[in-house]
Structure formats: structure tokens, C-alpha cells
Amino acid sequence: MFSKSVIVDIVDMLPDTQADLELFLMKFEVYDKVDFTPDDTSISKKQVKIAKLLANNQELKDSRDNNIVLNIVQDRMHNFLSRYSIWEDSFNETQSFERIVGEYPY
């Protein structure tokens, strides 16, 4: 479904505090699926395990039978794109598109 590169980039867009990351993982029913150890105290160590889980198990389903990986990708892309408002007074469609592509070339 998604390349490993896309999943790594999406995981890099996850919340960057311990509490926010854990809440995010709970929201998407991933927290109990990742094999965290007591040594996984840093965000970067957790991100590696999350990326491996999502890349290698793209068929994961939540309790409502929704694809977890797809839901996370959609959420992170929505979060990313919501930073670019089409309601700006000085909105220039070409410049805004180029700015998005420059930051996230997928």
C-alpha cells in the first residue's frame, strides 16, 4: 500500500512529546501493538519501532475494522495540509502548491 519511505516520513510527523505520542498511539489503537521496552525512553527509539510495525503490517485493523496505517497517513496528511489555509488574503495557488511540494515531495 505505502512505501517504507512514506511510512518513515509519516512517522516523523507524529507528535514530538512522550505524552502526546502515547495519546496519539492510543487514539489509533497502536499503543498495545508496538513492542516497547523500558529502554525505549526516547521519541526517536519509539518512532523506529512504530515505523517498523506500520511498514511491515499494513493490514492492521482497529476495533472498528478500519485500516490503522491508512487512518494514520490520512490524519497526518490532514494535519500537515491544514497548515496551508486557502482563506489567506494573499493566497496564491501556485506558490502555495510549490511550498507544499517543496516541503513534502510525495
81 compared with 91, residue with greater pLDDT: 81
Lowest mean pLDDT across 25-34, 58-67, 85-94? 85-94
Tens of pLDDT along 22-61?
A: 999 999 999 999 999 999 989 999 999 999 999 999 999 9
Give residue 105's pLDDT. Answer: 52
Q: What is the pTM of this model?
A: 0.76
C-alpha cell at 49: 519501532
Give residue 78's pLDDT. Answer: 87
C-alpha cell at 90: 494573499
Q: What percent of the chain has pLDDT over 90?
A: 69
Give residue 89's pLDDT. Answer: 47
The helix/strand/coil state of 61 is: strand
Question: Are the C-beta atoms of residues 44 and 8 closer than 8 Å to each other?
Answer: no
Q: Where are the domains of the chain?
A: 4-103
